[in-house]
Amino acid sequence: MDRGRLLRRDRAREGDEDQKEQVDDYGHGTHIAGLIAAGQYVCFAVIARGTDAAIGLFQVRSLDPAFGTAEWEFALACEFWGTGFFIDGARLVVDFTFDTIGAHRLEARAALKNGRGSGALRKVGAVQEVVLRKWFLRDGEYLDQALWAILQDEWRETKSVSGPSVVVH
């Protein structure tokens, strides 16, 4: 990733208070800590070159015990939208999910109102499969959400045609 780097934090170590605090800050403390301990969750921080501060993150969690199907979530500070950080990081995370973890399917969800998020998923090769009507509540309104997926065989086929697109230093 020429623009920066991804740092992986996927294991809670005994006595690692910083990890406990980070997990608890997300409000998912017990659940996420259990997934980390079981090897069912990985989180990457996006770090811009020349800085030590995270500007975003990618999370991947297993949707089944064998990690055959995974779900990912991502967030990037708005001042870095449209800079290429998402695409570079997403390609690395998708590669990791398929090549290292061994998942065959990677899912994501995006509110239908979130055109930018849907566009980013489409750009990285995800296919919209279904709309989940009134799936989640935000600010007193039930919103529709799209389910997107990338399949391992399609990802590999696309990569073999286009070649590697991200350089990691």
When divided into structural domains, the chain yields a total of 1
pLDDT exceeds cutoff 60 at 18: no
Span 115-148, pLDDT tens digits: 888 999 999 999 999 999 999 898 999 999 999 9
Query: What is the pLDDT at residue 82?
Result: 87
Asked whether residue 93 is domain-assigned, the answer is yes
Higher pLDDT, 20 or 44: 44
Residue 140: Cβ within 10 Å count: 5
Q: What is the mean pLDDT of the segment spanning 154-169?
A: 62
Residue 66: which domain range? 4-162
**H-helix or E-strand spanning residue 95:** helix 85-95
126's CB contacts (< 8 A; 6+ apart) are: 108, 148, 149, 150
Closest residue by Cα to residue 91 from 162, 14, 10: 162
- Chain centroid to CA 79: 19
Asked whether residue 168 is domain-assigned, the answer is no
Asked whether residue 63 is domain-assigned, the answer is yes
pLDDT exceeds cutoff 60 at 150: yes
Asked whether residue 169 is domain-assigned, the answer is no
Query: What is the pLDDT at residue 48?
Result: 86
Q: What is the CATH number of the domain that holds 57?
A: 3.40.630.30
Asked whether residue 153 is domain-assigned, the answer is yes
Closest residue by Cα to residue 132 from 101, 158, 108: 108
Asked whether residue 167 is domain-assigned, the answer is no
- Chain centroid to CA 162: 22
pLDDT exceeds cutoff 70 at 159: yes
Q: What is the mean pLDDT of the segment spanning 89-100?
A: 93
